[in-house]
Amino acid sequence: MPSRWPGLKCCVLTLIGVVFLIPPSAETQTNRGSVTLTGTVSESVALSVAPGLAAIDVVSSGNTVRLTLPGTDVELRVPLMVRSNTSFKISANVETTTTQLAQLSVIEVRATGRMASPQAVNELNVPQQFDRRRGGDNAPAMDFSAINVSQPFLLVSGPRVSLGGTLDSPQNALEITLLIRLKPQPVPGSPVHLTFVATAGPPTQ
């Protein structure tokens, strides 16, 4: 008897898992049979810079963003983009020999779309010395002489950001806008390198 499905040679079942669509671990078990399905997804945090930032050198790789600024009087706004399927922390450090950092502040935070958790905005933790969301550009600059900025220091932390999508989805990120100012120098100094690293971890109050 001829087959009902001519040309059908095999059945292929493809399971595609997207890192942000399921929680870090999930388990399904049937009571009527002996089949147990268990899935595990590693905690993931990705960091990048929104397109359109000009005049400085930006290198993004996975959970790290490195900015290179000229050793002169500089003021710029940097929109960091965070995507994560877990809670996260972002640390920063500064490499410079002559030019001093005058300000590094969080001035605005927003979700980029419907797949970004509202809690990521409402429950973002920013240490007081870096939080200028209310004062904005007119807030007084912080005195960084009391901080060793050459060593990593905590900039922000928060809960899970992405409710779905991938590392490239436009609507599942948290955009954290930073205001960066360098102190004026009598003569141009060496370039200033700022490195931001995002890691998985519980929010810090």
3-state SS of 84-103?
Answer: ECCCEEEEEEEECCCCCEEE
Nearest in space to 66 (alpha carbons), one of 91, 102, 44, 83: 91
Q: Is residue 33 part of a domain?
A: no
H-helix segments, 54-131? 118-122
Q: Is 74 exposed, middle or buried (0-12, 13-18, 19+ CB in 10 A)?
A: middle
Q: Is residue 8 part of a domain?
A: no
Q: Is residue 162 part of a domain?
A: yes
Q: Is residue 65 part of a domain?
A: yes
Q: Look up the pTM and report it.
A: 0.77
Full pLDDT tens readout for the chain, 205 residues: 444 434 434 433 333 344 444 444 444 454 555 565 555 567 899 999 988 776 688 999 999 999 998 877 788 999 999 999 999 999 999 888 766 788 899 999 999 999 999 999 999 999 988 999 876 555 555 666 666 777 899 999 999 999 999 988 999 999 999 999 888 776 667 788 999 999 998 877 6
**Euclidean distance between CA atoms 180 and 169, whole angstroms:** 27
- What's the length of the chain? 205
Q: Is residue 50 part of a domain?
A: yes
Nearest in space to 155 (alpha carbons), one of 101, 74, 96, 75: 101
* Tally of structural domains, the chain: 1
Domain assignment of residue 72, given as a range: 45-200
Q: Is residue 155 part of a domain?
A: yes
Q: Report how far apart the first and last C-alpha atoms of the chain are (Å, whole number).
A: 71
